[in-house]
Chain A
Amino acid sequence: MKRWMQILLLAALGIGLVIAAIVASGSNPMDALSGMLKGSLGTPNAISGTLKETTPLLLAGIAVFLALKAGLFNIGVEGQFTVGACACSVVAIKLPGIVGMLLGILAGIAMGALWAYPAGWIRAYRGGHEVITTIMLNNIAGFLTIALVSGPIKDPSQEGTTTQNIADSSFFPRVADQGPWTVSAALVIGILGAIALGYWLKKAVRGYELRAVGANPTAAAMAGIDAKKIIVRAMVSSGAIGGFAGAIQVLAFEHRFYGNFSPGYGFDALGVALLSGSSAVGLIPSAFLFGILAKGGTAIQVFGVPKGITTVILGVLIVIAAAVRYRKFKAVES
């Protein structure tokens, strides 16, 4: 069977699976689809909500993407995001105003980087796989921050595991704030960041070297590149961006930290990076698509369609993307 036919078949199977799942839940697939689109793109409010979901997905997607280019599968963005958010909230609560905001961002970046460092070091110098170490670090991050927010940094006036709110003066600025339209400046940073990363990977010698390590570490070593150092640096930078995303989530949207802070942005970011078509700029539409599904998924619940259907759709998309992606050209030795 030709490869494209396999992919087509896969796509058809996937769509069939989604429709079957919707029908099984007792709804009309067309209603569900239109409901999802209306709920995510139909009104200014809906679009603002979609963009709000897009922002952390894009930032975390950049973090995953950078590591991926160095050949690292950073599953740990979820944990880096969480510790970044937690550290930022602590700083921003103590220090109101723009200073608190800036220092909060720095704290988030530093904690994210610190959280990624062991995984990078172990991979480079001890050969321990980053997927395992980052999953463990995710668990530590999750439980540690829950412990903190249950005690030391808990808002005593609240029942739940949450901190106080940060001061309004520390909120991250918005680029649009008129009536139903609200767009955080963080989205702009994410878009510019993705473009800048793409440019850096292509035009900077260091970007070239990082990609060489990701594509073939042995050839990179022969080309004089210190692959181990680059692996550590890429992991730490990826963690720093993940921590930055967490800090932004506090400063721009949530304004506080609480237990189980991330609804899985770090994990969805893996999908964002995989769907980007291995182009940094491709992260932008990819994150937007994930944003639509996240927002639209909530909207279709009124039709009685479970929110989880969006996860099924994402799963199908990722499997198809992976099939297309690995349909790589291979020469025959002649």
Chain B
Amino acid sequence: MTDSAHILLVDDEPSLREPLAEYLVGQGFAVTEAGDAAKARSLMRDQRFSIILLDIMMPGEDGLSLCRHVAAQGDTPVILITAKGEAMDRIIGLEIGADDYVVKPFNPRELVARIKTVLRRSSRAPNEVDDNIQGYAFDGWTLDIVKRRLTDPDGALVPISTAEFKLLQVFAEHAGHVLNRDQLLDLAHGREAHLFDRAIDNQISRLRKKVEVDNRSPKLLKTVWGGGYTLAAKVRRLDGPDTQ
């Protein structure tokens, strides 16, 4: 799959763009470079890319604007490259519908891992209706997919790690289903995850500590004898306003 993946790399800085393109080619991708948004737009008119890597800060039209354009055009996934940290998760998805982002200076291996994850997600569900999903609500709790946060029945933020968040998201997406460790690993962390299956138990126990009233007799994240775990609650999808 990745062998044929064609990446459009949009960055105004040749000092970063060139070595990055070189590296990605070395990793088995086909890479086309664009020095600005205008060039990227014209390239996109002529051909179809598997994924777009987009630098946010560029002279002329910036990455965010181009990202909106891409999102409006179709389903080509976008990974943003940014110099900012902190409040980035809010920008992502919320306004522009990017699929992921990396913060400069990123580890190129991590970038490749993210590219693969995004590609796998988009190839698995090419036109799923879930595009507009904002989050899930269960038993008073709210899992906000866009802002990536968990809110308790009283409206207080409950900080949880990314791994726990993904796990909870998987449970919400498969509400009522019993998921075994392999399924959870695969769904939450992807096939390349180097986690051993006990890590899932660990994460479940941590999650329970946060969402259960009494984590010795869990009411939400139940253990199914001999099988795995399930989210035993009525899950409601939260849809955002229709974009475009």
Report whether chain A binds chain B.
no
